[in-house]
Amino acid sequence: MQINTIEILGRDGCSTCSSMYQTVIDIMAEKNLAADIQHVTDLQKIMSLGVMSLPGVVINGKVVSYGKKLSKSELEKLIDGVIEG
């Protein structure tokens, strides 16, 4: 399956959220994959996804993680899991 969008949900100024956002950009570049990658800080949008604990990760509109800082290898596993279907 192709990844079209990846959203990192977090607060403005949250270093953990910003770090995860940059890590996702790096992973996608290393894998030579293109996707719309966004750092979402709009609390209304975050709550509309049912996420109450930050940071969160949304791939292709599906919440795949929330409330936990993920390492690079954990983020890679999520991305690879979606690609492999």
> How does pLDDT run across 28-53, given as a tens digit for each residue?
999 999 999 999 999 999 999 999 99
CA torsion angle for 75, 27, 69, 17 (degrees, to 10)?
Answer: -140
For residues 6 and 37, is the Cβ–Cβ distance under 8 A? yes
Of 81, 60, 56, give the one whose Cα is nearest residue 69.
Answer: 56
pLDDT confidence bin for 85, thresholds 50/70/90:
confident
Q: Quick one: which H or E segment has residue 28?
A: helix 15-30
Q: Residue 1: what pLDDT?
A: 85
Report the predicted TM-score, pTM, of the whole model to 2 decimal places: 0.94
Q: Mean pLDDT, to the nearest integer, of 58-66?
A: 97
Q: Domains of the chain, with CATH numbers?
A: 5-78 (3.40.30.10)
